[in-house]
Structure 1
Amino acid sequence: MTRLMTGWHILNIHGSNVSIVSFLFLILSTLVSNSASATSPEAADAVEVTYEIEVRIDPVAHSIEGRSVIVANSSEELTLVLGRRFGVLSAQVNGTSLGPAASMGKVRAWRVFNDKGLPRRIEVYWRGQLTPLDTSLDHAQTLGRDEPTSGEAGTFLPDSSGWYPYIAGKLASYRVSIELPAGQRAIVPGRLVEESESTDGYRARFEFLSPTGGIDLMAGPYSIETHTMRGAGGKPIQLRTYFHPQIADLASGYLDSVKGYIDLYESWIGEYPFTEFSVVSSPTPTGFGMPTLTYLGTEVLRLPFIRYTSLGHEVLHNWWGNGVYTDYAHGNWSEGLTTFMADYAYKERENPEAALDMRRGWLRDFAALSSGQDAPLSTFTSRTHGATQIVGYNKSAMVFLMLRDMLGRETFDRALQAFWQEQRFHLASWIDLQRAFEASSGKDLSGFFDQWLTRGGAPVIRIAEARRAKPDPAASANHRVTVTLEQAEPAYRLHVPVAVRTAEGEEFRTLDLEKARQVFTLDVGAQPLQVTLDPDLRLFRRLMPDEAPPILRQVMVDRTAATVLLPESGDAQSTAGTLAEKLQQRTPNLVPGKEAPPAVPVLVIGLEEQVDTWLARHRLPARPDIVRGKGTAQAWTVSRSDGVTLAVISARDIESLAALTRPLPHYGRQSYVIFNGSKVIGRGAWPTRAPMVKLD
């Protein structure tokens, strides 16, 4: 995952007839999902705004004070923004006081006119209190916060908190000097210029000389390890870990993995755009990606698979998202492309079965969405819940897979390399990607991009008919089969893979489906026995019922899902309610356990005897043999006779139920999971069957 470049999208307002209240309303109403950007790609060609920031942080007192000098070479009216929680001691432009600011919500803003000539030099002194660090927050709570927090175990000042004064709507370069008490270390994205420590405290200075969208600051009692590697062009790249003492032994392995990922993506895309990359640990379950670094929770970093999965995803974001900026006004392409070239690419390198399993997971997840949750890709900006991840990450990644299948790997890679060279440190959109692929392939791809970006949902395709036909005497093949495909209106233009099983093996074809119903004639080399639609799941489509057995995610992401809490009172009911909130990331839609389950997906939570009694009362299938009597708790899905999904969670006692709160939300792709305490001892998905027609 990545944390998007943070800050504000605002309107540039000219003239003096706009009231300050209306002005600030327009600023806030145009805020777009943690992203500060230039108003056009050309704005990145020259750095119009630079920051010189000096800050002193006291993690024990939860305090910050700073001085910022902003130099702006832009002639337009500017907006200076600072988090409202911070007090301003002085604010001047070219020696003249900026005067009062307008305040609304969490920010205050000043209008900075161009009446003093260029460049404009804005100097601000500020200070304030930081929110005490809370290490009890879970992953979702941590990712959803934009408060500046501080404590001895760690400090995190997200750009979205407005912890420093900045010019809204402008990319900027910066230099940041940081002072902390002895024993603390700090980092911001960019190049470490110098650092020192004495009994008086720690000091460090960083610089980021390319235009970028925001500054995040992290600090803690870090142990630092450094390695130097040579990039593709011979440039030295500093690799560092800023790890809490309890995980310092992991540093060497992480540094080796980072080097491997940089080598991989330099050979695949182009030269690494920065001079360093750091892995920074957080005392909370964080997962953020920023230019030149990733910020991950200590417990996350302990997980053995993180080095081989999520770490590479975050390194790749230094090309996509932090090297080429995302134009969020037209949709976020960077998460899907990063998922495709990291998470999915690692599965492809593992083996074909692992890659197929990931594709199957993506399509199963999409099948779990209810109507209205499958918004167009062009509207996706950032992940806010499970449904947006299914669209913005998974569907987007599969669009890139289909594009590569259509163009070929060499053409696809050549387009990405050209896109990188042309758009480095520029704001880029899906349109820019389309142009790169069209230039590389020589094809008009407007139809492809239009249908996959602007349409919600997915095509529904079926084999309406398949039969043997008389072979053409003029053809070299001895056998022929006709296949009729159908799809719902309005029709997509699709390259549909099919497999024809013959007496001598399988033959694969790709059929160009452009209409709601279309007949295809295929010549094959031996007696045809069976036709299967998209056997390797390489086409983004809504799975047929037999292909999409129920999974837990269906009751986790469906906003219409109802919840039945079988414990009627006391600690058991409270624990069940907490688990339901964690699974569904909202207040559950509760229905009484004595009533018949409604005709919507239903989540049922209870202790073992309660669950068995409830299932029998409503004449629903008993707990399956694969989970019966195993572990301390089980979760499984049932497809009811009306096609609606039921998810059941059963625990031996209250303690076993409580132990599911943290791990169970991570197993949404499973049809069943078995726990011993909080440890998974069994899991799986119900069998699937690809859509196929046997030939008589």
Structure 2
Amino acid sequence: MGKKQNKTGRAIALLAIFLGGAGALFAIVTPAWAAVLSLAPHHDIVLTLTPATHHLSARDTVTLDGSGTLTFYLSDLFVLEGVRLDGTGVAVQRSGDAIRIRSGGNARHTVEFRYQGRLPAITIDALNGFALSPQGGYLSEGWFPRASDAPFTYDVSVSTPLPNKAVAPGTIIHETQSGGRYRATFRTSVPTRTLTVFTGPYQIAEKQLAIARAEKTAPSGKKPVQSDIALRTYFTPQIAPLAGDYLDFTARYIQRYVRQIGPYPFTGFDIVSGPLPVGLGFSGLTYIGTDVLKLPFIRYTSLGHEILHNWWGNAVGVDYAHGNWAEGLTTFMADYAFASERSANGARDMRLEWLRNYAALPKGRDRPAVDFVAKNHDASQIVGYDKVAFFFVMLRAQIGNKAFDRAIRLFWRDNRFKTARWADLQSAFERASGQKLAYFFDQWLHRAGAPSFVIDAPYVRKESNGYRVSFVLRQGGTPYRVRLPVVVATKDGAHRFTVTANRDGERFALDVPSQPTSLAIDPNFEVFRRLSPGEATPILRDVTLSPHSEALVVGTAPDLITQARALGAALLGPDAPIRSAAPYAASGVLPAVPLVLIGALSEITPFIETLGIPPLPPRYARKGAAWAWATRAPGGQPIVVVSARSAQALGEIVRALPHYRRRGYVVFDGARVIETGNWPVKPGAHKVLLAPPAKG
């Protein structure tokens, strides 16, 4: 394929990890938008798919303004059968993916392309721009002629033999099943930068939801229109029984966010399944792998996250030149909200997980949050998702729940169907709260890093009506301005305070009614900060995030070495050093870098015992067939140990284990996780015991 198609392959891979990046698809058009539409190219595509032979044939009639030589890009995998310019056949120049047509003077032109080609079969290991098989297919980019990267509108009519069906983002304006074929037409009315078609042996289930829906023609103060939106699942037969449950959850999520934010911005929402083990987000549509949809927790977590992207990232677009706020805000309003509702400690546990992830991030890979654009590796997720979500946790604490909720609705009202940047969020929160928040946005978004706090010189003095606890708060580096929770434990109970720290070395004094026994700062992890050593318990990311990590294979059996190398590459990347542990077993000295130790249970147990590396506690080691745990060597060196009963058991976790890098331990039975979690937190420098006041 030509260069343009290679670029397309990277684009679909990026979509697989960055959810919610597609253009908006709206059905109602304002006069202002009408002017934009009059200039936008329009594609009218008639598409015929034959999955059994991987064949695609298409006619794309493109209407656009232009003059001189018009250049379109279409993957050179497709055979061009004919081109007509303004109704007349024309010769073209084709070089790789580029197609050049001489158009003459400046005018509104119609260019009709007819082309066909055989697509690659779909595989779960290689995401290209397009693929087609009987079990499923997708067309992302490179499959229709594009004149530029500018937004466009489209009508796409798809025909495919039953039992296969097809779906694309947009409004369905025609759908039939006859003569052994499925036919449907999808339309956008407002320019978008993507056109993706999915196909597979789908069973379609539908539910109508009466909901307040945003219209582009409605003034911001006008009451939203009450209308039915169509909720659909396009599920393969093996998961078709789950459709009703997914539709019910979808309806509840949409109702939830209508209450919290404002009217739903699209005419429907589709959940599409398929063989790819990824999540792809579009306006009014999400594609999720069939095996992923089977997991019971998806409808409680990831589904809500994807639906919320209809507001944040789609209806309110992201100005990527000034950073991506949408992933962090969506994580805060979806994942974090769900965690807080699931259990009493759910929100605290998620905040601690974010801080633990950040503690594993090497300083060289840290970036200001405003530099985050998309999740293209583990480190970017820690900044763009975790840290930004934590930013909103602190912002809500700063201005209060009511002001925060007003700001969210105000931000939506002012920016729906537009592109927004961080400055627009700051404006909404300042207006809703009446506070100047420039310092807050600046220190948390424009600075890399995080504050660290240490209690110094704690002192207790007896007063006439109780006790006074004083202490000095040390901050490392440039000080942050932070509202810091402080808890003083006394013989009669705990007392909570909030102090505002502005500089390094500030002394604070707190009064309590009975004798204090301990002093803790931020014990519930409510401030984004660096954890102390006792709080930052080992996780797999301590090793997988380091650019210096290596993997050592403990054992000599060929099948074990093969599986260990595959696992090491899955955890550390294809270029990471993977070598035999034998020389280090003899010397008793490990390389001074973060390490993954991989081997069979019978061999790795004596190996780590000789080196003084902590084993997995017996309560976990007694169950399962494979184990992974994060720990530290006696000198503090980060270590991940992966042990299995056999080479086969090791091979069964190659695909699954990288998804648990945020955990301290994982126990597998085959590819199924039967237990996972993090090690208990120990009090660090953020808690001190208080000596009783001196007598006399």
Name the residue aligned to 2:470. Answer: 482
TM-score by structure 1 length? 0.87
Identify the match of residue 189 of structure 2 among 209, 218, 232.
Answer: 209
* Partner Cα distance (2:433, 2:103) in 1: 47
Separation in 2, partners of 1:418, 1:120: 42
Partner of 1:302: 294
Give 1:385 deviation, angstroms.
Answer: 2.3
Q: 1:33 to 1:253 in 2, by over 3 A?
A: closer
Question: Which residue, 165, 168, 171 being the options, matches 1:185?
Answer: 165
Which stretch of the first structure deviates more once superposed, 405-414 or 503-512?
503-512
Call closer, same or farther: CA 1:454–1:534 in 2, change over 3 Å: same
Instruction: State how far apart, in whole Å, the 1-side matches of 2:95 and 2:648 are.
Output: 51
CA distance in 2, matches of 1:290, 1:69: 24
Structure 1 residues 542 and 494, CA, compared in 2 at 3 Å: closer, same or farther?
same
Equivalent of 2:62 in 66, 70, 88 = 70
Matched, 1:560 2:560: no
Structure 2 counterpart of 1:496: 484
For the residue of structure 2 that corresponds to 1:394, the secondary structure is helix
Separation in 1, partners of 2:484, 2:366: 22
Of the three residues 228, 238, 252, the one matched with 2:244 is: 252
**CA–CA distance in structure 2, aligned partners of residues 460 and 365 of structure 1:** 15
Could you report, residue by residue, the CA deviation over 1:612-646 in whole angstroms, capped at 9, with x for unpaired residues? 23223324334433334433222222222322211
**Contact 2:22 / 2:283 at 8 angstroms: preserved in 1?**
no
Aligned in 2, Cα 1:548/1:28: closer, same or farther, shift over 3 Å?
closer
Deviation string 1:534-586 (CA, Å, 9 cap, x unpaired) is 11111111211100111122222222111101123511100111111222243
RMSD: 3.1
The structure-2 alpha-carbon separation of the partners of 1:512 and 1:74, relative to structure 1 and needing over 3 Å to count, comes to: farther
- What secondary structure, in the 3-state scheme, does the structure 2 residue paired with 1:638 have? strand
1:675 counterpart = 2:637: no
Distance 1:430 1:74 in 2: 35
Q: 2:117 aligns with which of 123, 128, 134?
A: 128
Corresponding residue for residue 220 of structure 2? none
In the alignment, structure 1 residue 458 sits paired with structure 2 residue 440 = no
* Higher mean C-alpha deviation, range 264-273 or range 298-307: 298-307
Residue 373 (structure 1) aligns with: 365
Q: CA deviation at 1:32?
A: 13
Alpha-carbon distance in 1 for matches of 2:358, 2:407: 28
Instruction: Show the counterpart of 1:382.
Output: 374
C-alpha displacement at 1:128, in angstroms?
2.6
Change (3 A) 1:53 1:620: same
The answer to whether the 8 Å contact 1:44/1:425 transfers is no
Separation of aligned partners in 2, 1:536 and 1:425: 38
1:662 aligns with 2:647: no
SS of 1:414's equivalent?
helix
Contact 2:407 2:432 (C-alpha < 8 Å) held by counterparts: yes
Identity %: 38
- In structure 2, how many angstroms separate the alpha carbons of the residues matched to 1:113 and 1:480? 84
Q: Does 1:609 align with 2:584?
A: no
Query: Is 1:196 aligned with 2:176?
Result: yes
- By how many angstroms is 1:320 displaced? 0.9
SS at match of 2:654: coil
Asked whether the 8 Å contact 2:624–2:668 carries over to 1, the reply is yes
**Per-residue CA distance 1:351-375 (angstroms, 9 max, x = gap):** 3301111111111111112221222
8 Å CA contact 1:564, 1:590 repeated in 2: yes
Which amino acid counterpart does residue 590 of structure 2 have in structure 1? P
| Cα shift readout 1:285-315 (whole Å, capped 9, x = no counterpart) | 1211111111111111111111111111111
Q: With structure 2 as the length reference, what TM-score do the two structures score? A: 0.87
User: Structure 1 428/129 Cα, relative in aligned 2: closer, same or farther at 3 Å?
Assistant: farther
Indicate conservation of the 8 Å contact 2:9/2:128, yes or no. no
Residue 224 of structure 1: which of 190, 204, 207 is its match? Answer: 204
Q: Does 1:646 align with 2:639?
A: yes
Amino acid at match of 2:129: E
User: Which deviates more from structure 2 when the two are superposed, residues 270-279 or residues 169-178?
Assistant: 169-178
Distance 2:457 2:47 in 1: 71
Match of 2:614 in 1: 621
Aligned to 1:154: 136
SS across alignment from 1:389: helix
1:426 alignment counterpart: 418
- 2:565·2:578 contact (CA, 8 Å) conserved in 1? no
1:402-423, Cα deviation, whole Å (9 max, x unpaired): 1111111221121121221222
Amino acid at match of 1:129: R
Compared with structure 1, are the counterparts of its residues 154 and 658 closer, same or farther at alpha carbon in structure 2 (3 Å cutoff)?
same
Measured after TM superposition, the shift of residue 467 of structure 1 is 1.8
1:401 positional shift: 1.0
- Counterpart Cα distance in 2 of 1:66 and 1:263: 39
Determine the C-alpha separation between the residues in 2 that align with 1:396 and 1:33.
20
